[in-house]
Amino acid sequence: MPVDVLVGLQWGDEGKGKIVDVLAPTYDVVARFQGGPNAGHTLTFDGIKHVLHQVPSGIFHPHIINVVGNGVVLDPVVFRQELKKLTDRGVNWGQNLYVSRKAQLILPSHRALDRINEEARGGSKIGSTLKGIGPTYQDKIGRTGLRVGDILLSDFRERYQEAVARHATIAEFHGRGLEIEEFEADFFSAVEFLRTLQLTDTEYLLNDLLRQGKNVLAEGAQGSMLDIDFGTYPYVTSSSTIVAGACTGLGIAPRHINKVYGISKAYCTRVGSGPFPTELHDGVGEQIRTAGREFGATTGRPRRCGWIDLPALRYSIMLNGVTEIHLMKADVLDEFDEIRVCTHYELPNGEKTDHLPDYGDLEKLTPVYQSLPGWRTNLQEITDPQALPQQLKDYVHFLEQRLEVPISIVSVGPDRVSTLHMA
């Protein structure tokens, strides 16, 4: 059976968690392939909001196997907290959650380094979530990191102390100390908890399941425009957020990839620093932020808001080989008389392009907009896609024509039931 992959097409926060939750019942396995506790997947059902950070979004379905892949960086403290909240809400995750022994561990010293590094940047901050993600991936690439499987070794404490000593040297370079002593007891307690979970070589698990005819949904975090190679570098995350990352982050061959679900909001948002061509600094941007409750699920930071950006979307679609688009949060635009769409960029020399330039040129662009009529309808009351206002149908059709990919789902509210499958 195939592996279908779900990726964000913008700068993250597109609503991937909700879509995984909606699609999950048709899959045997949901596997997370990259990122760490810097992700915040929000799911709402039965009137209750659930925010997942490291646990795959299929965890609410008892029949689904949930896998934390080797491409993930795992914070044991956050992971334990997250699983405790699930237990308190009656979710029995004990039998269907597996964690890769090859996933990297986030140490307290990684979090300290993250803050020290970000503060050292002064006015050119990346906008890190300060969860230790970057320093952990740095250690992974530098071949000095600790992995989940290492907690099962008798000399894990010694390995930990060696890692902390290396990190202390880096901190000293900035004239700082790590100051992590108060966090270490909680960390080692969480490590003891982690040892009780199903830690395994998940690449074997996943490939065995595929041979058995099981189908897999691979779940990414962040968005394609934050990819370490193809995003708006250096204002990106530290992992591969595109479809290619699913292969390396889960240990599956490219030949298994089938459908690619690309998730996009009906507008754009971004958290942290970096270029954002269609960002709105006026009352319209604030109206979108308020209506969409655009505050980070992980950090609580207000998100920067703007109109939808088709050159950036086409770029992400190309990189991922997207086969269908799921358009999220269309209801946020309910009150607008006019919906604007960035179709091209104007370069400093006056030429127009529909290609996404590199970061250095991206800040010098002027977005070129086309206006479409708004729908002025409360979409959250609609449960039949045929009942959608014609203006929204026209908006969807316009996007499909420009992006050359069908839009198969339109989300008109936060709840599971507000997910309309288009004909």
| Total domains in the fold of the chain | 1
Binding residues for GTP: 12-18, 40-42, 303, 329-331, 411-413
Task: Please list, in sequence order, all residues whose beta carbon lies within 8 angstroms of the beta carbon of residue 27, skipping any fewer than 6 positions away.
Answer: 4, 58, 64, 215, 216, 217
Can you read off the two tokens belonging to residue 286? 């604030």
Confidence of residue 129 (pLDDT cuts 50, 70, 90): confident
What is the pLDDT, as a whole number, of residue 41? 66
> Whole domain around residue 363: which residue ranges?
262-421
What is the pLDDT, as a whole number, of residue 145? 97
Asked, for residue 316, whether it belongs to a domain, the answer is yes
Asked, for residue 411, whether it belongs to a domain, the answer is yes
Asked, for residue 17, whether it belongs to a domain, the answer is no
Residues forming a β-bridge with 218: 5, 31
Binding residues: 12-18, 38-42, 129, 143, 222, 237, 297-303, 329-331, 411-413
Residues 199-222 have pLDDT tens digits of 999 999 999 999 999 999 999 989
Asked, for residue 333, whether it belongs to a domain, the answer is yes
Four-point Cα dihedral 266, 237, 293, 7, nearest 10? 40
For residue 301, the 8-state DSSP code is P
Rounded distance between C-alpha atoms, residue 37 and residue 106, angstroms: 10
Rounded distance between C-alpha atoms, residue 140 and residue 179, angstroms: 23
Asked, for residue 135, whether it belongs to a domain, the answer is no
236 residue type, one letter: V
Antiparallel, parallel or unpaired: β 338-346 and 308-309? parallel
- Does residue 297 have a pLDDT over 70? no
Confidence of residue 360 (pLDDT cuts 50, 70, 90): low
What mean pLDDT is predicted for residues 394-416?
Answer: 95
- Burial group, residue 73, by CB count within 10 angstroms (0-12, 13-18, 19+): buried
Residues 20-54 have pLDDT tens digits of 888 989 999 999 999 999 776 666 666 667 778 89
- Does residue 168 have a pLDDT over 90? yes
Asked, for residue 314, whether it belongs to a domain, the answer is yes
What is the pLDDT, as a whole number, of residue 359? 61
Rounded distance between C-alpha atoms, residue 219 and residue 5, angstroms: 6
Binding residues for substrate: 297-303
What is the pLDDT, as a whole number, of residue 47? 66
In the block, residue with structure tokens 């104007």: 346
- Which of the residue ranges 215-224, 352-361, 409-418 would you say has the lowest mean pLDDT? 352-361
Asked, for residue 2, whether it belongs to a domain, the answer is no
- Does residue 343 have a pLDDT over 90? yes
Ramachandran quadrant class, 165 (left: phi over 0; alpha: psi -120 to 50; beta: rest): alpha
Asked, for residue 57, whether it belongs to a domain, the answer is no
What is the pLDDT, as a whole number, of residue 257? 98
pTM of this structure: 0.93
DSSP helix/strand/coil, 45? strand
Share of the chain above pLDDT 70, in %: 95
What is the pLDDT, as a whole number, of residue 362? 76
21 within 8 A of 45, measured Cβ to Cβ: yes
What is the pLDDT, as a whole number, of residue 317? 98
- Which of the residue ranges 28-42, 149-163, 195-209, 330-344 would you say has the lowest mean pLDDT? 28-42
CATH number, domain containing residue 409: 3.90.170.10
Catalytic residue set: 13, 41, 140
Mean pLDDT of the chain, nearest integer: 93
- Does residue 128 have a pLDDT over 70? yes
Confidence of residue 259 (pLDDT cuts 50, 70, 90): very high
11 within 8 A of 275, measured Cβ to Cβ: no
DSSP helix/strand/coil, 320? helix
Share of the chain above pLDDT 90, in %: 79
